[in-house]
Chains A and B, each alone.
Chain A
Amino acid sequence: MEYLIGIQGQDFVLVAADNVAASSIIQMKHDYDKMFKLSEKILLLCVGEAGDTVQFAEYIQKNVQLYKMRNGYELSPAAAANFTRKNLADYLRSRTPYHVNLLLAGYDDSDGPGLYYMDYLSSLAKAPFAAHGYGAFLTLSILDRYYRPDLTRDEAMDLLKKCIEEVSSASISRRFHLHYLHLFNLFHL
């Protein structure tokens, strides 16, 4: 089962996603990247139905880039999150709804870091921490227990590792690779 997690700190957002692309009982890829870079400071993590994820995420990605080309400056994370939610909502009651669950992580120069949780019913919530998938049932309580708004980066990494250990040990599929991305400097760990 696919898993996304995000933790917001004082000046960073830490996000992680599993790396498995599965088709019923077969794991077709073990190094599948579920993160879509919307801009230098915004990242979209997308899980859900097979084709819908890439189609929807790439559509949002290209439109965010188009905004920058047209206007000369980038969309803020809050604006990008609301744009994404609006698109999800518009398609929800059409004949082709997109069944995708999203986490949007961004850093606004004036407002600071932000983590936005969206689900396939196009709900949107700005949250200090969030998770998607069956793993969310296991890890939200860990996050509730140990999360503090003034986490340092190392403490946030430790908290993330705790969550990942829990999901790996409780998950049916043992092969659970996680790909960390530390948003503030946007480097891969």
Chain B
Amino acid sequence: MTVFDQLSLDGLRFNLTSEKNSAIPLDFFTPPSANSASFCLPNHSTTVRRPFPLSHGTTTLGFIFQGGVIAAADTRASAGGLVACPAVHKITPIHSHLVVTSSGSGADCMLWERILTREIRLYQLRHRRRLSIRGTAKLLSFMLHPFKGTEVCVALTLCGWDKESGPKLIYVCSDGARLQGDIFSVGSGSPYAYGVLDGGLKWSLSKDEAISLAREAVFRATHRDAYSGNNVDLFHITAQGWSQRKREDLKEEYYRDMEKRSKDRRGKIKRE
């Protein structure tokens, strides 16, 4: 049973898999037909009213440097103006050498991460080799394509290490974009994070410098963006796999920053 057998959108079923039980449903090989659920269905005269605003708003980032890949994200899930949960995991490991940072609608991200994990594991079992990061991104992009135009909102960054080609960072979103690059930041706090990252990022950073740059970028973004905050999760991916740092409260970072500023000011006043 593949994802398309189980998902049913108001009566439309995607039930196209080849008889040989291959990993990828036949739906992938053709652009979506007129049956796919890309617009409001004719049965509804008005759309169903949402019970509450969906959780959106985040700061996630990833970048590649000489020591591997760093993935960082805040931990706030907001639903409109409410902090629905202050301790969400926005970075999820898929396998030992791949993590995915999520942004957009929290529920959609959780679902699609589970689907992706399952499909990657199935691929590994069927073909006796691990799918490359680029292949994973393409698979995810093609799985999301039938839902383009619907309210599905996911913007994921796959951060991983391929045995053959080294560190990889690929951005996939529900609009259909699929971009490979060296630095990505996604979410409502991303412009603020880009401001810090673009200034400080160099290939030759050490591991500690890279981690503190990532932490600083998330901190500055959470300071300005109302929809990001609480804690920061940091992952480091190398050829040996991913490793996760202990979750850090950004309140501590804020106090450290305040302390540093007041010390600078005291130093300046003494000199004057």
Contact = CB atoms under 8 A, between A and B. Distances in A.
A51 B145 contact: yes
A23 B191 CA distance: 11
A28 interface: yes
B121 interface: no
B207 interface: no
B31 A25 contact: no
Contact of A95 (B36, B145, B185): B36
A83 interface: no
A134 interface: no
A96 to B, nearest CB: 5
Contact of A28 (B34, B38, B149, B184): B184
Interface stretch (B158-166, B170-178, B258-266): B170-178
B80 interface: no
B1 to A, nearest CB: 25
Given A28-B184, A50-B176, A50-B177, A91 B191 contact: no
Interface in A67-120: 91, 94-96, 98
Contact of B38 (A23, A32, A49, A96): A96
B179 interface: yes
A26 B179 contact: no
B141 interface: yes
Interface string A140-169: 000000000000000000000000000000
B179 A55 contact: no
B184 A54 contact: no
A168 to B, nearest CB: 21
Nearest to B181: A29
A50 B177 CA distance: 5
Interface residues on chain B, size class: 20 to 34
Nearest to B146: A96
A23 B187 CA distance: 11
A180 to B, nearest CB: 22
Nearest to A87: B31
A47 to B, nearest CB: 13
Interface residues of A, number: 20
B34 A54 contact: no
Q: Is the interface of A mostly helix, strand, loop or mixed?
A: mixed
Contacts of B52: none
Nearest to B175: A50
B31 A54 contact: no
Contacts of A50: 173, 175-177
Interface string B179-191: 1010011000011
Given A32-B179, A51-B148, A54-B176, A96 B32 contact: yes
A28 B114 CA distance: 26
Given A26-B190, A26-B191, A96-B149, A21 B32 contact: no
A59 interface: yes
Nearest to A30: B181
Interface in A5-34: 21, 23, 25-26, 28-29, 32
A52 interface: yes
Contact of A26 (B33, B145, B148, B194): B194
Contacts of B255: none
Given A50-B173, A51-B177, 17 more contacts: A26-B191, A26-B194, A28-B171, A28-B181, A28-B184, A50-B175, A50-B176, A50-B177, A51-B148, A51-B178, A54-B177, A55-B31, A94-B34, A95-B34, A95-B39, A96-B38, A96-B148
